[in-house]
Structure 1
Amino acid sequence: MDIGSIGQMVRRVRKRAGLRQDELAGAAGVGIRFIVDLEAGKPTLQVGKVLHVLDALGIVVALTTRSEGLTG
């Protein structure tokens, strides 16, 4: 997973929810520019803000190590 694929997922889920970028920004407590940059896959975004956006959309983040992902 990379920031580009996260951005694509955010856009897909946002559109499916019928939200405009400004509506998502308000719900997540970030600026519209942040949403635009996230959906474009900008690599220097603040992780905390990305997590706020994901939470606002109901996207669950699960972390695992590579070894756990390959064997588990």
Structure 2
Amino acid sequence: MKIQINTMAELGEVIRATRKANKIRLDDLAGMAGVGPVFVGDVEYGKETAQMGRVIKLMSELGLKFTVDVPTSAEPYLEKIRKGKGLIRPSKRKAHKTTST
């Protein structure tokens, strides 16, 4: 089944339901994904500031796939970025020297 996710709470519900359906304890999932059990609980209850990389690890351990519906207008830019042609990293700001008088 494919469903649209609009909030972290909705994603958390899917993660929790999948974990429970597979009879995986929260702390076991945390160990499998290399995160803490508090983090898993936070994600399952929709914490807005959860680190995306860790959330994707949880999803992967549960067999959930993360897909994005990319607009057609963004496809050429995505291709360019993936090829490394158009990926311009911002330069680090130089520290301002202060002089005392």
* CA–CA distance in structure 1, aligned partners of residues 71 and 18 of structure 2: 26
* CA–CA distance in structure 2, aligned partners of residues 65 and 25 of structure 1: 30
**Structure with the greater alpha carbon radius of gyration:** 2
Match of 2:70 among 44, 47, 65: 65
- What is the aligned-residue identity percentage? 35
Aligned length: 68
The corresponding residue for 1:30 is 35
Residue 64 of structure 1: CA displacement? Answer: 1.2
Indicate the structure with greater helix content: 1
Flag the structure with more relative contact order, 1 or 2, with Cα contacts below 8 A and sequence separation at least 6. 1
TM-score (norm 1): 0.88
Match of 2:45 among 14, 23, 40: 40
CA deviation profile, 1:11-54 (whole Å, cap 9, x unmatched)? 00000000110000001110000001001100001000000000
Residue 60 of structure 1: CA displacement? Answer: 0.6
- Note the residue ranges of structure 1 that are not aligned, 5 or more in a row: none
What RMSD over aligned residues (CA atoms) do the two structures have, in Å?
A: 1.5
- Note the residue ranges of structure 2 that are not aligned, 5 or more in a row: 1-5, 74-101
Match of 2:15 among 5, 10, 16: 10
TM-score (norm 2): 0.63
